[in-house]
Amino acid sequence: KSDFTFNAYPNPATTAMQVTWDTAGSVEYLEVIDLSGRIVQTQATQGLNSAVVEGLASGVYVLRLTAGDKVAHKQVVFGATMK
């Protein structure tokens, strides 16, 4: 269960994905985790309300945002061809 919500679009994405959030506390980190549980990308997001995730190999990932003791997750797909 996520402690707050955020948006990730487009999902699926071809090359880049915009991530936005609106939380009472500031999001400190955005992590991209592959399905084996390995963190493949980390961004410090203190003071921001959005980030761009890009440069990932094709596949399914989980985005994890951390704001203090609150955590939110969302599954996303990269490398999908848009039809």
pLDDT (tens digit per residue) in 32-61: 999 999 999 999 987 888 899 998 999 999
Mean of the per-residue pLDDT values of the chain: 89
43 bridge partner residues: 30
Instruction: Report how far residue 62's alpha carbon sits from residue 68's, in angstroms, rounded to the nearest whole number.
Output: 19
**What percentage of the chain has pLDDT greater than the value 70?**
92
CB contact set of 51 (below 8 Å; sequence gap of 6+): 18, 19, 30, 43, 45
> Which pTM does this prediction carry?
0.88
**What percentage of the chain has pLDDT greater than the value 90?**
64
